[in-house]
Amino acid sequence: MQNFVFHNPTKVLFGKDTIPAIGNETVHYGNNVLLVYGSGSIKKNGLYEQVCHSLLTAGATITEHGGVQSNPLLSHTHKGIQLAKEKNCQVICAVGGGSVLDEAKAICAGTPVAHDVWKFFTGKKSIKQTLPLTTVLTIAASGSEMNSGMVITNDDSRQKFGFANKRLYPKVSILDPQATCTVPADYTAYGAVDAIAHVLEFYFTTEDPYTPVQDRLMEGLVINAMESCNRILTQLDDYQARADLMWTATLALNGLTGAGLGKVGFPMHMIEHTLSAFYNVPHGAGLSAIIPGWMRFQAKRHPQRFAQFGERVFDLREGTIEEKAAKSIKELSNWFQQVNSPTSITALNIPAKDIPQIADNAVTLAKVWRMQGYDQQLIELILKDCI
Ligand code: NZQ
Ligand code: ZN
């Protein structure tokens, strides 16, 4: 167990019929609100009316910044910052998934400064202040609702970079599982894959040889993500299953799993971000195409860790350490296929001939994230095992 500081300031309102609280929770930070949302799902499922009614009843003035796309773009973020400045918005209310919440976080960070918000992502500037953010989460996946991270794609440089700062935590996040019942089967599965990936990144890159508390927590989150996703895919409006997956995805990347692990990495995400930047694939689908190949690479260096994962998550009992390690990767890959999440870049229609340029782009993020050892050659090697 390494030393750690765990401080998560986000207030979470979880459960049925919690969305009407968004108005009062938001105007607590100011009446002049920028409402950020995506490409239209909230207008189809009634959330838009529900949130606007709550904000207006609480006395808010609403400026809208809709049209956030999945894998959010810097160019659209710039428009949101300009609007927030022109309208002197005091607080941002984001209604959507990780893409909407991340673009809203970038607007929170970019509105108080005169320079390009992208300078935060490349480490050229550091965040000193942000506008406050409240959120209504509509898809269980990214964990952005209760973390300090944001991921934006620079459409000019085609770089998709993630960045974290303690001032980016939402003040309040409302998690009503009912809001996720309209998420279709494919994005439900991609969200579960993303939550699992958040756990695996830490589980397989910690250098601490003995972390029983975190291991059991992380193994339980992976089991819950798979089991609740399976239940949802048999009945999309299963409230309890939606609630289980929603809270699992939040816990998978809110700082709890990493507390005490010491130094960890995010290598699968470092590679996947390029797939989303280049081909606009859904984040979770990009991850399931990368995860088995990266796990096979990492299992050669730490077979015991993968054998433990197989024993505890897939109840593997037979075989040597190496055999169990290989079987655990196969079991997870089989589950990705079972939920129709792609398990190769070929399944994403990404040609193998693109591997050098994908690796070339991913290396730029590896450098910003200071990931030792992840050079062009190694990333190409891993990608060649994902064909
Ligand atoms: O555009 P809208 O209307 O929002 O539709 C979305 C989008 O088409 C739709 N959707 C969301 N809620 C729905 C719904 N459709 C029907 N009913 C609902 N209730 O689903 C599609 C995907 O939405 P998106 O927000 O893109 O999904 P997700 O939550 O997986 O977010 C993906 C983004 O999160 C970033 C990823 O890089 C990606 O850009 N991540 C953010 C992280 C963070 N901040 O900590 C960490 C993650 O690793 C991840 O990188
Ligand atoms: Zn992710």
The ranges assigned to domains in the chain are 11-179, 184-384
Per-residue three-class SS string for 280-333: CCCHHHHHHHHHHHHHHHHHHHCHHHHHHHHHHHHCCCCCCHHHHHHHHHHHHH
Closest ligand to C-alpha of residue 148 is 1
What are the DSSP E strand ranges found in the chain?
Answer: 11-14, 32-37, 61-65, 91-96, 133-137, 149-154, 159-164, 172-175
Ligand 2 centroid to residue 61 C-alpha, Å: 33
Taking the CA atoms of 162, 94, 244 and 13 in sequence, report the sign of the dihedral they define: positive
- Do β-strands 91-96 and 32-37 pair in parallel, antiparallel, or remain unpaired? parallel
CB 183 within 8 A of CB 141: no
CB 107 within 8 A of CB 64: no
pTM recorded for the entire structure: 0.98
Ligand 1 centroid to residue 310 C-alpha, Å: 29
Ligand 2 centroid to residue 142 C-alpha, Å: 5
CATH number at 11-179: 3.40.50.1970
What are the DSSP E strand ranges found in 24-171?
Answer: 32-37, 61-65, 91-96, 133-137, 149-154, 159-164
Closest ligand to C-alpha of residue 141 is 1
Closest ligand to C-alpha of residue 283 is 1
- Do β-strands 91-96 and 133-137 pair in parallel, antiparallel, or remain unpaired? parallel
Task: Give the CATH fold of the 184-384 domain.
Answer: Dehydroquinate synthase-like, alpha domain (1.20.1090)
Atom number, ligand 1, closest to the C-alpha of residue 253 = 45
Q: Is 15 left (phi over 0), alpha (psi -120 to 50) or beta?
A: left
pLDDT of amino acid 146: 98
DSSP state of 73: B
How many Å is the Cα radius of gyration of the chain? Answer: 20
Q: Whose CA is nearest to atom 3 of ligand 1?
A: 41
Ligand 1 pocket: which of 69, 108, 138 to mutate (most atoms within 8 A of CB): 138
CB 332 within 8 A of CB 192: no
Ligand 2 centroid to residue 125 C-alpha, Å: 24
pLDDT of amino acid 248: 99
CA distance 176 to 72: 23
Ligand 1 pocket: which of 99, 101, 242, 271 to mutate (most atoms within 8 A of CB): 99
pLDDT of amino acid 306: 98
Tens-digit pLDDT string for the chain (387 aa): 999 999 999 999 999 999 999 999 999 999 999 999 999 999 999 999 999 999 999 999 999 999 999 999 999 999 999 999 999 999 999 999 999 999 999 999 999 999 999 999 999 999 999 999 999 999 999 999 999 999 999 999 999 999 999 999 999 999 999 999 999 999 999 999 999 999 999 999 999 999 999 999 999 999 999 999 999 999 999 999 999 999 999 999 999 999 999 999 999 999 999 999 999 999 999 999 999 999 999 999 999 999 999 999 999 999 999 999 999 999 999 999 999 999 999 999 999 999 999 999 999 999 999 999 999 999 999 999 999
- Establish how many alpha carbons lie within 13 A of residue 219's alpha carbon, considering only the half-sphere containing its beta carbon: 18
pLDDT of amino acid 10: 98
Ligand 1 pocket, CB under 6 A: 38-41, 45, 70-72, 96-100, 102, 138-139, 141-144, 147, 149-151, 162, 179-180, 182-183, 187, 191, 194, 253, 269, 283
CA distance 210 to 167: 32
CA distance 71 to 21: 28
Q: Which of 102, 134, 137, 105 is nearest to 14 (CA)?
A: 137
